[in-house]
Structures are given as structure tokens and as C-alpha cells.
Amino acid sequence: MAQATSSPPETLDEDAPARRSYSSDAAGLGRLRAGVFVAPALLLIAAFLVFPALWVLYLGLTNYRLTGIAAAEPQFVGLDNFIDAVSNPVFWNSTWLTVQFVLGSAVIGQVGLGFTIAWLLRDRRGPLKRLVEGLVILAWILPSAVVSFLWVALLDRDGGTLNALLGLPGFAWLLDHPMLSIIIFNTWRGTAFSMMLYGAALGNVPPSHLESARLAGASGWQQLRDVVFPHIRGHILTNLLLISLWTFNDFTPFMITAGGPDGKSEILAVHVYKVALQSGELGYGAAVSTVILLINLVVAVFYLRLLRSKK
């Protein structure tokens, strides 16, 4: 939650030195005091993270509504909400849009652009590199409410800068191509992470390997394929999993298109908000949330596996 775009929780140090497997209580804390130290954090996590997650599972099985009779006395309806969801074309539409959004902006957009920039700038120093990196990172760190409006302004049908540049006055990007708009927006927004990750990864490719490939007459593409990719394969996978997870859960597109027009950019994150908090169908919204949780779980377990196997 509150992931925003700034930082991933990847903290299993990939190349941490093998620590001695025993721990010693250097300060003489003792288990009791240690328990007291851990308790407040665990309590908050339990109350505001674990409990909501469990609650969402329960809610999904009721006909809870925000207002009305079902708000006072929610009934247990079993898997009805899930059945509603899978038989609801709007849900499938949202799912399909989400797939487009994740594939288009994260897997293709951010990874492709991030790697390209990292590769172009790999052995450069100085102002050009700093300028490009600085701008890419700026797009990443600015508050989402601000960048959303910057894109609304950029893409505005009548007065937007983009139409002025392209000489296409009156072209309604957000109305006619809402998915394309948010995909390009999110590529712009999130490339920084991939760029930095690949920059670091490329820095770890031993120069001697590249040099020997170059001496053997390998072209740029052959160097990439035979030397670079084998070295950074682990990083690519890590990166893919993380940014897919974040993009999948990203709520920012709501601030640009609000899911519209006519649900044409209503990705799952926005779908939940609309059905649960705007239409008040909490039970159905919770069922969709459960689906999101499960997908997150699968990706996260995959990711943690990957980290473990690298250790």
C-alpha cells in the first residue's frame, strides 16, 4: 500500500556476504524486551494491513453495500460476487485493459525505454548523462497529482502543447485513445526505475568480457546478445516482476481519464474504486479486490523465489 512510485521493497540484498548463521544478542536485549520492541510495529501492521486483507476476503462473500438495507444487515452470499464478476463483461473488459496497460506501459514501455537509455549512456560521464537521467528521474519523483495534470494539459484537445506541436488541433487524445494515452503516460512516468536498475546491472558486466567480444569482431547487437543479456538476465526478471506488480496496482490513471470515457480506460484498480466506493457495491468490489490480491500474491511469491534462488 501507499507504494506510490518511489521505492520498491526489494531489500534482500542480492550480493550480501554470507552472514554467520547464528545471531548473538549483542546488547543483551533478551527476548522479552525484543518482543516489546517489535510489538508496536506488528500491531499496526496487523490492524491496518493484515486485517484489511483478511476482511476483503470476507467481504467478497457478502452482499455488503455502502448504503441501504444491505449496509445494515449484510448477508452471506457465498461465491455469488465472484460469479457475478466472471459473468460480468465489464469485469472482463477491465481485466483486458489492465493486461494491455501492464504489457504496454511496463513490460514494453518502461523496460524497453529504460534499457535503451541505460545502454546508450552506459559508458558516458558528464552533463549529457546527468541531464537525461535527471529528467527521467524527475518524471518519476514528482507527485502523481501534478504529473497527471501535466499530461492532461499536454494532451488537451484544443489548447494542448502536443496538438500544437503536431499541428493536429482538435485531436482528442484522451477521448479517442484513452488507453494509448495512459500507456504512454505511465511509460514516461516509470521508466526511471528500469533505467537505474539496468544502469547498475550494466555496470556489473565485466568490461573484459565486452572487450574480448569486441576484439572478436562482434557487432553491437552480438555483444548485447552474447555478453550483456546472459549477465543481466536475473536483473531483467527482477525488474519485470516488480514493475508489473506496481503497474498492476497503479491508481494514477484515474487522475487522467477517471476510467472513461465509457469505461474505455477502466483498469482493475479504477474498476474497484468505481463499483465499491462510487456505486457502493462493497461486496462485489471486495470480490474484485480479492482477485487483485491473488494476482499480487502469485507475482510476489514468484519474485521472492527468484531472490532466494539467487542467494
Partner 1 sequence: MAAIELRGLTKVYPGGVKALDALDLDIPDGEFFALLGPSGCGKTTLLRTIAGLEIATGGAVVIGDRDVTGVQPGGRDVAMVFQDYALFPHMDVTENIAYPLRIKKVAKSARRAKAVEVGTRLGLEHLMDRRPGQLSGGQQQRVALARVMATQAQAFLFDEPLSNLDARLRLEARTFLKKLQRELGVTTVFVTHDQAEALAMADRMAVMESGHIRQIGTPAEVFQRPANTFVAGFIGSTPMNLLDGAVRGDTLDVAGCKVGVPSSAEGRLSDGEKIVYGVRPEYMSYSAEPAEGALGGKVAIVENLGASHLVTLDVNDVIVQAVVPEGSEPSLGDDGYAVPRRDRALVYRDGELV
Partner 2 sequence: MTARFVAGRIGFYTLIAVLLAFFTIPLLWLATAPFTSDPTYEVGVPDFTWENFQAVAEHPYALPSLYNSLVLSVGTALLVVAMAALAAYALSRVRLPGRDALLYALLLLSSIITGTAAMVPLFQLAVELNLIDSHLGLILILTGGLLPAAIFMMKDFMDSTPKSYEESARVFGASPLQIVRHVVVPLVRPGLATIGVWAVANVWGNFLMPYLLLSDVEKQPAAVITYTLYTEGGQANLRMLSTFGLLYSVPVVLMYLFVSKKYGFRFHGGIKR
Chain residues binding ligand ATP by CB under 6 A are 22, 24
- The listed partner (partner 2, ligand ATP, partner 1, none) that binds 19, CB under 5 to 8 Å by sort, is partner 2
CB under 8 Å to 273, separation ≥6 — which residues? 251, 254
> For residues 227 and 270, which CB has a smaller minimum distance to partner 2 in the complex?
270
Shortest separation between residue 87's beta carbon and partner 2, angstroms: 21
Give the x-and-dash track for 6-45 against partner 1 (CB under 8 A). Answer: ----------------x-x---x-----------------
- The listed partner (ligand ATP, partner 1, partner 2, none) that binds 12, CB under 5 to 8 Å by sort, is partner 2
Give the span between the Cα atoms of 199 and 228, in whole angstroms: 12
**Phi, psi angle pair for 268, to nearest 5°:** -55, -40
Shortest separation between residue 136's beta carbon and partner 2, angstroms: 6
C-alpha cell at 61: 462473500
CB under 8 Å to 159, separation ≥6 — which residues? none
Shortest separation between residue 225's beta carbon and partner 2, angstroms: 18
> For residues 74 and 263, which CB has a smaller minimum distance to partner 2 in the complex?
74
Shortest separation between residue 300's beta carbon and partner 2, angstroms: 4
- Contact by Cβ (8 Å): 93, 263: yes
Residue with the CB atom nearest ligand ATP in the bound state = 22
> For residues 18 and 72, which CB has a smaller minimum distance to partner 1 in the complex?
18
Shortest separation between residue 89's beta carbon and partner 2, angstroms: 21
The CB-based long-range contact list for 215-220 (8 Å cut-off, 24+ gap) reads: none
For residues 277, 278, 279 and 284, what is the CA-based torsion angle, rounded to 10 degrees? -30
Q: What angle do CA 36, 41, 46 make, to 5 degrees?
A: 115
- Contact by Cβ (8 Å): 209, 179: no
- The listed partner (ligand ATP, partner 1, partner 2, none) that binds 221, CB under 5 to 8 Å by sort, is none
**Interacting residues toward partner 1 by CB under 8 A:** 22, 24, 28
